[in-house]
Amino acid sequence: MEFQAIICCGKGARLSPISAIKPTGVPKPLLPVAQKPMIEYALEWCDKAPFKEVIVVTDSLSFNQVNQVVKNYAKNRNKDIVPFTSVECLSMDAETTGEVIHQLKDRLTSDFVLLPCDFITDLPPQVLIEAYRNRADSDIAMAFYHHNPFENVEKTFLKTNYTIYSEEEDGHFSLLDLHSKTSVELNKALEIRTHMAWRYPRAIVSSKLLESFIYFCSHRIMQISEGGISASKSSTKIMRDFARRSWRHRQTRETVGMFIMPREATFARCNNIPVYTEANRWFMKLQAKNNQGAQVSKEKGAAVIGADASVGSNTEVGERTNVKRSVVGNNCKVGMRCRLTGCIILDNVTIADDVTLENCIVGLGATVNTKARLTNCNIEGGFVAPKGLQAKGENLMSLSLDGLIHEEALSESGYSDLYSDDDGDEGMDDEEEEEYEDEFSEDDGLFDR
């Protein structure tokens, strides 16, 4: 109850073409995972804590839709926790997580938690809360890391950095530094400062850990330097810079704790198409494991819905159609003799007769005409796939001037990190030389721009 939680909703750049990065898409926090908007998983996780206040931050274009979902969730949540915690959605056209914190600084009166809107996990919040409570006295924040839970997701789709950390004698981990893989490849070397090596001789370097973008922060972090947290920095840079304080100065300063989630737990951020797909399948596997059963009709020739599949409300499925390992949204029409395998079908989709879809994602309101055969394709919302279309591994999108202008505007907007899905990787080391000019300086200049 002592924490305030901030859920940052990005635009879903790496979830194109089904996200709101396209005008025909769905705002990222509202993209369905197993028939439920992904933001609801984050809200439910917060309620299990519970946190005394939950603030959902989204951009102005998506605010009305996201706010409505948040309001509906708050209205229907467990009545026992309503008197102790509040949920609110705010519109904020911020470019970085740092700017979000900066705009909320007067509202943050206690320790706070930064959360992404796109995570799913079976790890209770109490595990993370207890890890933070048992942190070292010098820790002003704690960053949480995890391993890739889905074997089918290729490493190329996962943004990992070179994470440098140290295990202390008491078993606690301390985050020391972060370097993007891009910068290491450009420099053809991983540069580790001598002073850090002297102070932390048992430092560990990992290129496999994934950032959860969950950070528990002490309220002290707001007053450590004049001006507080820089509004121009991503969450990754903020934590990296605070972590460097532990070894950059002659005198011992604050540290950033680090917690690696156990491999037995499932944690994933649905911030790209492969992980989003696997997250839906993970829920379908749980459904089948819980023996909720296949929806097998007694009528001869009727559609077969597998135990590992889900069909939304007001959706019609034609005769002799087979649906396996798939999630079909609400208000859809699926014709006769269709085969849907490993697919995610969003709401209001029309699929004609004799269509075969394998490992496809079909966007909001799209149409797939008769005898189309598509494999590993992502279809933009509203797109009309012509009769007999055969495609493999393609993004099927409508070409329009409005869409091109919309994408260009987003690409030039400078959005980064949690708030827009670049995950703080861009420009990770853009201030490397400036930050290391005087590593023994008492005034580290972290927030001078």
pLDDT tens sequence across 147-160: 999 988 887 778 78
Q: With CA atoms as reference, report the closest residue to 273 among 21, 86, 448, 62.
A: 21
Q: What was the pLDDT predicted at 295?
A: 56
Q: Residue 320 pLDDT > 50, yes or no?
A: yes
Q: What does the pLDDT average to over 232-255?
A: 87
| Mean pLDDT score, 38-58 | 96
Pairing relation of β-strands 36-37 and 32-33?
antiparallel
**Contact call for residues 296 and 279 (beta carbons, < 8 A):** no
Average pLDDT over residues 233-260: 89
pLDDT at position 402 is 53
Tell me: the pLDDT tens digits for 105-127?
Answer: 899 999 999 999 999 999 999 99
Three-state DSSP at 300 gives coil
Residue 415 pLDDT: 40
Q: Is pLDDT of 69 > 50? A: yes
What are φ and ψ of residue 404, in 5° steps? -65, -40
Q: 40 pLDDT band (50/70/90 cuts)?
A: very high
Per DSSP (E only), the strands in 312-360 are 316-317, 322-324, 327-328, 333-334, 339-341, 344-345, 350-351, 356-358
Token pair in block for residue 368: 């797939």
Please tell me whether residue 145 adopts helix, strand or coil conformation.
strand
Residue bearing tokens 């400036």: 434
Is pLDDT of 417 > 80?
A: no
pLDDT at position 210 is 94
Token code pair at residue 245:
């304080």
8 A C-beta contact, residue 153 and residue 278: yes
Coil, helix or strand for 6? strand
Tracing tokens 């309101």 back to the chain, one arrives at: 365
Q: What pLDDT is attached to residue 428?
A: 54
- Local structure of residue 27 (DSSP, 8 states): -
Give dist(CA 312, CA 35) in Å, integer: 7
Closest CA to 124 of 261, 271, 16, 226: 261
What mean pLDDT is reported for the chain? 86
CA distances for 373 relative to 281, 301, 326, 360, 379, angstroms: 21, 22, 16, 10, 13
d(CA 305, CA 323) in angstroms, rounded, equals: 5
For residue 233, the surrounding DSSP H or E stretch is none
Is residue 119 within 8 A of residue 214, CB to CB? The reply is yes
The Cβ of residue 47 has, within 10 Å, a number of other Cβ atoms equal to: 20
Segment 428-438, tens digit of pLDDT: 544 443 444 33
Alpha-carbon span 155 to 178, nearest angstrom: 18
Give the pLDDT confidence of 179-195 residue by residue, as tens digits: 998 889 888 889 888 88
Whether the pLDDT of residue 366 is over 90: the answer is: yes
The residues that bridge with 350 in the sheet, in sequence order, are 333, 367
Per DSSP, what are the bridge partners of residue 357? Answer: 340, 374
Q: What are phi and psi of 400, to 5 degrees?
A: -145, 150
Q: What's CA 19's distance to the chain center, in Å?
A: 13
| Sign, Cα dihedral of 72, 78, 82, 84 | negative
Pair of tokens at residue 52: 């005394």
Distance CA 117, CA 156 (A): 22
- Point out the least confidently predicted range of 117-126, 194-203, 301-310, 399-408: 399-408
CA distances from 348 to 68, 160, 316 (A): 19, 36, 11
DSSP string, 266-283: -EEE--SHHHHHHHHHHH
Q: How far apart are CA 49 and CA 46, in angstroms?
A: 5
What are the angstrom distances between the C-alpha of 278 and each of 9, 34, 116, 147, 175?
Answer: 20, 11, 18, 15, 29
CATH topology of domain 293-396: UDP N-Acetylglucosamine Acyltransferase; domain 1 (2.160.10)
Q: How confident is the model at residue 418 (pLDDT cuts 50, 70, 90)?
A: low
User: What's the pLDDT at 292?
Assistant: 57
Site of tokens 């960053």? 143
Is residue 447 predicted with pLDDT exceeding 60?
Answer: no
Bridge partners, residue 4, by sequence: 53, 112
Domain 4-272+420-435, second-level architecture: Alpha-Beta Complex (3.90)
pTM of the model: 0.88
pLDDT in the model for residue 420: 43
What value does the mean pLDDT take over residues 193-201? 90
Measured from the Cβ of residue 289, the count of other Cβ atoms closer than 10 Å reads 10
Is the distance from CB of 140 to CB of 220 less than 8 angstroms? yes
Q: Give the residue extent of every domain in the chain.
A: 4-272+420-435, 293-396
